[in-house]
Chains A and B, each alone.
Chain A
Amino acid sequence: MSTQPDHSQNRPGERCSTATEAALLEQVCEALHEARPLQIQGGNSKAFLGRQIQADPLDTRSHQGIVNYDPTELVITVRAGTPLKQLEAILAEQGQVLGCEPPHLGDNATVGGMVATGLSGPRRPWSGSVRDFVLGTKVITGHGKLLRFGGEVMKNVAGYDLSRLMAGSFGCLGLLTEVSMKVLPKPRHERHLVLSCDQSTALQRLTEWAQLPLPITAACHYQDQLYLRLEGGEASVQHFADSLNGTALDPVFWQQLKEQQLPFFQNPKPLWRLSLPAHAGQLEPSDDCLIDWGGAQRWLKTDLPETQLRDIASQLGGHATCFTAGVTAQPFQPLPPLLMRYHQQLKAQLDPKGIFNPGRMYSDY
C-alpha cells in the first residue's frame, strides 16, 4: 500500500521502509555532501560490461527480500539487492517466470543489476525486455531523496515513466532500491528442437515464421544448426514441431546460451553484440557468428576493428556493444551529438553532482 504524500513538509526518508534502505539513503547523502562519486554494485556479475570507472563502491546486497508477491496479480515487488536466483526460485514455486529471461552472467547476480543493465534472454523478441516488465521503482536520487515511481499495476500513466527509464541506465540516473515487475505464468507445454540448416536459410525461415502466429519462444543459429524452443498449448506446439522434422534438444542449451556458456563463447577473440532488425540478413563479413533472438541479436567473436563493426550495425539500423572488457575505451555505440546533449542534460538534472556511476556508459556523463 502506498503512503499518502505529505505536502506540508519535505521528509527525505518518507518512503523508507527498512533500515537497509535508510542506510543506502544515508550513504548517498554523505557522498552528495562530499561530492564523492559512487560506483553502484550488486553481485558484480556484469561489472565487465560498460566503461570501467574509479569510484567508491556502494554495495546494494544488504537490501534484499521480497516486499510483495501475489501470484494472481502477476506482479512481484522485490528489493534491489535480492539475488536474481532467489527471485526466480520464488516465482518458480508458483509456476511463474520473469518474461524477460534475464541472463545472470555470474552466481551472484542481483535484481538491481538486472534492471540497471537491462539485459534480456532468448525469450526477448516474443515476450519483451526487462524494461517491458518493469512496472514501478523506488529510487534514491541525486538530490538525496528516496522516491517512488510507477507501482504494482499493469497500467499507469500518471507522471513521466521514470521506472522504465531506469532499465538499462547502468545506475547513471539514481540508485534503484526496489522494483515491481510484471511476471508471467510458465508456459504449459514446451519442446526443444534442433534442425540442420545453413545461416542464410535459417534467417529466411525465421523471417517467414515471425509473420505467423507460431509458438516459437527462442530461436538461435550457430554453425549450420537452428535451435528452436516451442512453448504454448500442447496441440499447437505438437503441430508445429511435427512440421519441422527436427531432433530433440536438451533444454539446458537455452541456459547455456543465456549465460554465455556455449563453446562459441570460449573463443578467445573479443565478444561483440550486434543488436539488429531480425530481418537484416546475413552479415558480411561473416566471422564466427552466433545468432540469437530469431536474428535480432548477433554475437560475434572477432578481431575486426571497432569502427567497422559499428558501421555494419548502424547501417542496418542497429548498434554494436563490446562484451569483452578492455578491448575498447567505449564499449557502447556512440550517440549522435544532439541525442548525447539531451542525455547530458537529463543526467545533469537527475544527478546534478554526478555521483552515480559517472562515465560508466559514456565519458560524456
Chain B
Amino acid sequence: MNILYDERLDGPLPTPDRTALLHKLSIRVPDLQILHTEEALKPYECDGLAAYRTLPLLVVLPETIEQVQRIMQTCHELNVPVVARGAGTGLSGGALPLQQGVLLVMAKFNRILEVNPQGRFARVQPGVRNLAISEASVAHGLYYAPDPSSQIACSIGGNVAENAGGVHCLKYGLTVHNLISIEIVTVEGERMTLGNDALDAPGFDLMALFTGSEGMLGIVVEVKVKLLPKPQVARVLMASFDDVEKAGLAVGSIIAAGIIPGGLEMMDNLAIRAAEDFIHAGYPVDAEAILLCELDGVESDVDEETARVREVLEKSGAIAVQIAQDEAERQRFWAGRKNAFPAVGRISPDYYCMDGTIPRRELPGVLKGIAQLSEKYGLRVANVFHAGDGNMHPLILFDADQPNGLETAEALGGEILELCVRVGGTITGEHGVGREKINQMCAQFNDDELELFHAVKAAFDPKRLLNPGKNIPTLNRCAEFGAMHIHRGELPFPELERF
C-alpha cells in the first residue's frame, strides 16, 4: 500500500483554487513570502522520510504570529488544507506535503526570545533548533534536557509536534515533561496559550494533548521550555557481551539496583562493526552486543554509582567493562552511537529506521523475532536500542534500486512493528506516526479507539484541514489494511512464533 494521500482510503480532500488562494493570501498577508514555482517548491517536497515526495500547492514562510493567524483564517475560509513544517528532519513523514494543501514553513521563527535563569525557562520561537536552546543557556549553567539525535538541526516546534525523545528520556523525560507552556494558533486563526508560567494550569491538560499531536490540532507559534541545572559530571561505562540476551538482562539489573542512568544504550554486532569502521570509537568488534551507560550528577554520587554499575555489569556476564578515562574518550564512545545511522548508511545503499518500543523484558524474544524476520525477507537488520526506555531502532538494510527493494524493507519493518505491539509495546516511541506508520496504527488500536482519536480531532479541527491523513488512519484504511493482511483468515508467516 502506497503511503501517499489516497482519497479513496484517507477521505476526500478539498480541491483548492490555487490562483484564488494566491490572490487572497497576497491581499490578506501583504508581506508574506510565498513560494509557488516548481523549482522553489521542490526543496519542500519531503521531510526526513525522503522516500516519499509530494509537491505542495504552495509554500508560505511567515515571520510573525499575526501572519500565521491570517494565513490560517484565509485557508479556513477557503477550505485549504495546511501542513506545518519545522526543520523537516522528522523521520515519519509528518511534514510530508499535500498536493492540495499549503505547506506552512515555520523556519523563520528562529529567535530565542528570553532565557531566564531565575525562572529556569527559555521562551523561544518554534523554528529555534533544539541544541541552540542549550547553547544559549550554558552561560547560566543550565540546559534543555530532551536531545533527539537530530538536535543540531531539528526545531523545537517540531519537537513539540512529535513529542521528541532522545537518549536521556528515562531520567529526564520526553518533550512533554520539559514544557512550561505553548502558544497555539488554531485552525481558525485564533491565538491561545496552553499551560501557564506555573507548574500546572486550570482546566484540561491540553498542552499534554497537543504535544505529539503532529500538527493535527493547531500550529505551535511559541514555546516556553523548562531548563535544568547542568549535571556537574557525566561518566560513561562501556560493557561488551558475547550474548545479546545477557546484555538485555544487565539493563534490568542496573534498574533493579535502584540506579536510573542518564543514558543507557545498546548496539548489536552489525551496528557495532558499522560504527567502529566509521568512527573508530574503540568499540569491541567481536562483541555480540555493547551497552553504553552514562551516569550524571554530582561527582561523589556519580563515583558511587559508577562502582555499583560496574559490579552489576560484571555480575551480568560482561566480558569487558571500560570506563571512559576522560572527556575525549566519553565523547568518542558516544560518537559511535550517535553516528550509528550514517555508519549503517555506509555499509548499505539504503536503510530504513524503525522506532518500536517494547517492555524491556521482551527484548530477547523480540530480537530473536527480528532475526527470523530478517532471514525471511533476506534483508540484514542492525539493532540500535535506547535500552533504558525500551525504544528500539532496528535499521533495515536494503537497496532501493533492486526491484521491490523499498517495498520489501517496508513489509519487514511493518512486521517488526506489529511484533512490538504484540508484546505490549508500541509502533512508535519517538519518531511519530506521520504517514509512515499510518497502516500499523491499525495494529495498535481498534476501530473504537481510532474513532475516539477522530473525535478529539473534530473538537479542534472539524473540517479536517490541519495535516489531514497523518497520525490517525481512517477506518476505511484499516479495513483495507486488515483485508490485505489477514488473507483468508491467516496471519502472514504463521510459522513464526508469536510473542
The residues of A with any CB-CB pair to B shorter than 8 Å are 1-2, 4-8, 10, 12, 14-15, 70-75, 95, 118, 124-125, 128-129, 131-132, 141, 143, 145, 147-149, 151-162, 164-165, 167-169, 172-173, 184-186, 188, 207, 210-215, 232-236, 239, 275-279, 293, 296-297, 316-319, 321, 332-336, 338-340, 342-343, 345-346, 348-350, 361-362
Contact = CB atoms under 8 A, between A and B. Distances in A.
Q: Which 9 A-B pairs have CB atoms at the shortest separation, nearest pair first?
A: A317-B197, A233-B301, A235-B300, A5-B446, A155-B429, A318-B198, A185-B258, A72-B252, A154-B389
Contacts of A319: 196, 198, 200-202
A28 B426 CA distance: 29
A5 B117 CA distance: 48
A342 B119 contact: no
B118 A207 contact: yes
B236 to A, nearest CB: 18
Contact of A161 (B193, B212, B259, B432): B212
A167 B475 CA distance: 28
Contacts of B232: 213
A348 B460 CA distance: 11
Given A160-B453, A233-B300, A342-B459, A155 B430 contact: yes
Nearest to A238: B300
A279 to B, nearest CB: 5
Given A213-B230, A339-B192, A184 B260 contact: yes
Nearest to B491: A4
A275 B260 contact: no
Name, among B198, B298, B422, the residue most crowded by chain A CB atoms within 10 Å (CB to CB). B198
A129 B195 CA distance: 14
22 contacts: A1-B422, A5-B442, A7-B447, A7-B478, A72-B255, A72-B256, A73-B361, A143-B451, A151-B424, A155-B174, A156-B429, A160-B457, A165-B205, A168-B205, A173-B204, A185-B258, A213-B229, A276-B197, A277-B197, A317-B196, A317-B198, A361-B203
A361 to B, nearest CB: 7
A188 B258 contact: yes
A131 B428 contact: no
B443 A4 contact: yes
Contact of B205 (A8, A169, A334, A342): A169
B479 A279 contact: no
B449 A234 contact: no
A350 B455 contact: yes
Nearest to A210: B120
A157 B199 contact: no
Contacts of B113: none
B204 A233 contact: no
Given A4-B422, A72-B361, 4 more contacts: A173-B204, A277-B197, A317-B197, A332-B202
A277 B258 contact: no
Interface string B439-453: 001111111110111
B378 interface: no
Nearest to B423: A1
A170 B163 CA distance: 25
B426 A158 contact: yes
Q: For this complex, into which size category does the number of interface residues on chain B fall?
A: 35 or more
B425 A128 contact: no
A160 B430 contact: no
A296 B118 CA distance: 13
A145 B193 CA distance: 32
Contacts of B253: 72
B315 to A, nearest CB: 14
A340 B202 CA distance: 11
B16 interface: no
Interface stretch (B43-51, B149-157, B352-360): B352-360
A210 B121 CA distance: 11
Contact of B142 (A162, A211, A334, A336): A211
Given A143-B452, A213-B230, A349-B458, A233 B208 contact: no
Interface stretch (B5-13, B19-27, B165-173, B342-350): B165-173
A164 B175 CA distance: 13
Contact of A211 (B117, B204, B231): B117
A296 B198 contact: yes
B496 interface: no
B359 A162 contact: no
Name, among A75, A164, A172, A333, the residue most crowded by chain B CB atoms within 10 Å (CB to CB). A164
A297 B199 CA distance: 9
B478 to A, nearest CB: 5
A174 B360 CA distance: 30
A143 B453 CA distance: 13
B176 A336 contact: no
B176 A153 contact: no
Interface in B208-235: 208-209, 211-213, 216-217, 229-232
A157 B163 contact: yes
A14 B446 CA distance: 9
Contact of A318 (B196, B213, B456): B196
A4 B499 CA distance: 12
B203 A7 contact: no
B194 to A, nearest CB: 8
Nearest to A168: B205
B365 to A, nearest CB: 12
A105 B196 CA distance: 26
Nearest to B259: A185
A157 B212 contact: yes
Contact of A165 (B204, B425, B426): B204
B332 interface: no
B449 A348 contact: no
A31 B383 CA distance: 50
Given A160-B213, A332-B203, A165 B120 contact: no
B162 interface: yes
B482 A7 contact: yes
